[in-house]
Amino acid sequence: MMWQGVEGMGWGWIGLGVLHMALFWVLVILGIVVLVKWLAGGGETSGPRSLERPLDILKARYARGEITREQYEQMKRDLEH
């Protein structure tokens, strides 16, 4: 005869309860990790360049020599309008 435990609940119900509890804690820990990463990253999702201002990008391109001074001045005027 198999032991039925309290009020006829078998070992199967206990195992199912343990599984649910483990799943619950995995979800809680995963939620905390995602929240900490989101708070540490300031909520940005597409990388650090997503917050760069257009004028900063323009200055960097000029500093690298990708554009001439005339192009820089024209683009700067365009951005200021």
Phi, psi of 68 (to 5 degrees): -85, 170
- 20 or 11: which carries more pLDDT confidence? 20
Confidence of residue 10 (pLDDT cuts 50, 70, 90): low
Residue 4's pLDDT band, with cuts at 50, 70 and 90, is: low
Domain encompassing residue 50: 45-81
Task: Please check the confidence at residue 7 and state whether its pLDDT lies above 80.
Answer: no
Q: What is the total count of domains within the chain?
A: 2
Report the distance separating Cα 19 and Cα 17, nearest Å. Answer: 5
The per-residue pLDDT for range 56-72, each reduced to its tens digit, is 999 999 999 999 999 99
pLDDT at 48 over 80: no
Q: Of 11 and 15, which is predicted with more confidence?
A: 15
Amino acid occupying residue 78: D
Question: Do residue 34 and residue 50 come from a single domain?
Answer: no
Q: Are residues 3 and 30 in the same domain?
A: yes
2 and 39 within one domain: yes
Cβ neighbours of residue 55 closer than 8 Å, sequence gap 6 or more: 76, 79
